[in-house]
Chain A
């Protein structure tokens, strides 16, 4: 088989031993790569009940069969571990070109077991792999780590996946970073990596990715570029990136504001791409193999917020912007740079800081508790002061370093300020009048906790071709999206959406270039790229089946961690239906539970959200049942 390198590394950190072995065909054919392969590995190898930050947790990173090829936007890498936030599955993917380099070095997957007795980094140069001392890298920011390793290894093309000080200090808001600024690993994977005393993975590869049918592959790739560059959505996206969402959400009363208490932020115009570009944008930046290039380098030349960095996005602007009430773009850019350098997740950290700000608003926290920081909405300077305190666990920062869910246990009465699902901060959801309520269902059922990338949110068009098939017509399929507040058919919509999301993450293709409504790639087009690259003949439907299998595997991981139906829910604030001048917001809990039933039914899961025997048999997953008893732990 082509596409895959066919090799993986098992790194036993406690013993300092490295084993190279073939990537089993069973994993390739049933789980493709990336998210699929490592989710299945986690189900197989993780012992139940282990401490996420203990030596028995497993940390993995993987690429997919299309990484390192000309297939568009296949730059993503996925990291997985047992979550330090939810206790269940945690994974995340990031861009840049780490995955590309990993493939050229000759590996699809790296599994880390145990805990190193001293700080180390894994050095990979083609066939040569070794664990090296990293004590000189301790305490270094993500950028310093990158620069230092490039110099030390005497190769500017070395690609580094690392954690910042936050991960080293086991801060549960920490992510894993490649190219200094591309982050992945919501749910505290940065802390898991830190708990293993693993500071970085530095990789350099000069090999190649073999292509089964080069001519057909290049033709398919070119057709895909053409579709993407012709798409009006992606033309806008190329210019603005995800920042276009600020305007859209402000206009539709869906901008998460002041810890999700409101859907409209007065200062939103200062947060838009139009406010950003003329003053601070340097140029566009692409991840590996991407014809879109949605990201931007930025620079704030002078003033109190002078900084420079990369990747100012919706996901870095709203968490500290509207959500914390800050309307100063320069300050937000500074905050983004600080988060990147310290290795903090902007979504979860923004969620935690805005939680603290709501506590302050309600008088649950005072200056006495916060080391004299004034946490009034919009106080950017306080946030800038607070971030390093979180990353280094100093004073009040130490309280927030484990995320809002654990912090709320120590702040009396603060659970009303919590906006978490399975303990994880709700990232970008406000159920505005035009927001499809399937998004709420998506957040509640996403396998890694409150999440916008697992289906149901801005992407609810992933499964369009199949959705049409299931519902009989394109009109019926489109109706599900055009009637945002109706519960009809939302279970089907979300199931297919989640399957497609799992498929995409397993091929490690970027979520922004897929989905029919965004004129992106559909499962059939992905199948064409996949088949001509690997030589394995699979149709779009076959690939969607793989997506479904992955979603079921992840559900099994979470069930084993004790997360059944009761965990598939939303913070109370979403169940408060309110009339606003812009229309109704929120949804009733009855509506939500009805949709959840519908979703479980379509999934082939029982009322407790447990996959039925028939479903597991259909997906070839019966072998996974032996290890543990399938019952809904919440019943």
Chain B
């Protein structure tokens, strides 16, 4: 099936993919509401790209207690039913490649824009390419594991600041 191949080595860190994704899905530009995320490495450019890989054995689906996540047997895509999702974030713990929208208490999942993803169209560095791929291939699994590990390490050290202020 046609999926996004991620070649993070080519990524220049421009994050146009995030801008285009949030623009088509939300009608506004926001990296926090983009289904695809780029985490820049300022020192050597070893950027990290995080986007749902639509795995053949999606651990996010397994982790959801509310049946909000499902793998569509016809399209092969993993999707979220926002009516059922409560934004608990269990799926993000199981696999951190999707985005939790805390404000609206729901998880954001790449829907491949119905087969013609905008992020791929605005990627000029060759980091995102639409290709015929087997979602269950070992390469795909290893990409998921590596990215997850990297993300978990990052998120282990970091979450947005939360200290209150009285200045305003």
Interface residues of A (CB under 8 A from B): 17-18, 20, 68-70, 72, 97, 100, 104, 123, 125, 127-131, 146, 150-151, 153-158, 179-181, 204-211, 214, 217-218, 222, 225, 229, 282-293, 297, 299, 308, 310
Contacts and interface: CB of A to CB of B under 8 A. Distances in A.
Contacts of A299: 44
Given A156-B158, A229-B124, A293-B12, A129 B42 contact: no
Interface string B131-167: 0000000000000000000000010011111111101
Interface stretch (B28-36, B53-61, B74-82): B28-36
B63 interface: no
Given A69-B29, A204-B160, A208-B22, A297 B44 contact: yes
A180 B43 CA distance: 9
A210 B44 contact: no
Contacts of A218: 20, 23-24, 118
A310 B19 CA distance: 24
Interface string B38-49: 011011110000
23 contacts: A18-B167, A68-B30, A70-B20, A72-B16, A127-B168, A129-B165, A155-B159, A156-B39, A156-B154, A179-B42, A207-B32, A211-B29, A214-B23, A214-B28, A218-B20, A218-B24, A218-B118, A225-B124, A284-B12, A285-B13, A289-B15, A293-B125, A297-B44
B168 A210 contact: no
Nearest to A150: B158
Contact of A155 (B12, B13, B122, B160): B160
Given A69-B23, A154-B157, 18 more contacts: A69-B19, A97-B40, A100-B31, A104-B32, A129-B165, A130-B165, A131-B167, A157-B39, A179-B42, A204-B160, A208-B26, A208-B30, A209-B29, A209-B30, A211-B23, A218-B20, A218-B23, A284-B12
A291 B14 CA distance: 7
B27 interface: yes
A97 B15 contact: yes
A308 to B, nearest CB: 7
Interface of B: 9, 12-16, 19-20, 22-24, 26-33, 39-40, 42-45, 102-103, 118, 121-122, 124-125, 154, 157-165, 167-168
Contacts of A283: 9, 12, 45
Nearest to B26: A208
Contacts of A181: 42
Contacts of A158: 161
Given A20-B168, A129-B168, A289 B42 contact: no
Nearest to B21: A70
A218 B161 CA distance: 32
A70 B19 contact: yes
Nearest to A182: B42
A286 B32 contact: no
Contacts of B160: 125, 155, 204, 206
B42 A310 contact: yes
A550 B137 CA distance: 58
B157 A156 contact: yes
Contacts of A180: 42
B45 A297 contact: yes
A559 to B, nearest CB: 37
A225 B161 contact: no
B105 to A, nearest CB: 14
Contacts of B40: 97
B42 A70 contact: no
A130 B165 CA distance: 6
A125 B161 contact: yes
Nearest to A297: B45
Nearest to B121: A222
A208 B161 contact: no
The list of the 5 closest CB pairs from A to B, nearest first, reads A208-B30, A286-B14, A70-B19, A286-B12, A293-B12
A282 B29 contact: no
A288 B42 CA distance: 13
A211 B20 CA distance: 12
Contacts of A131: 167
Given A285-B12, A289-B16, A130 B161 contact: no
Contacts of A97: 15, 40
A289 B118 CA distance: 14
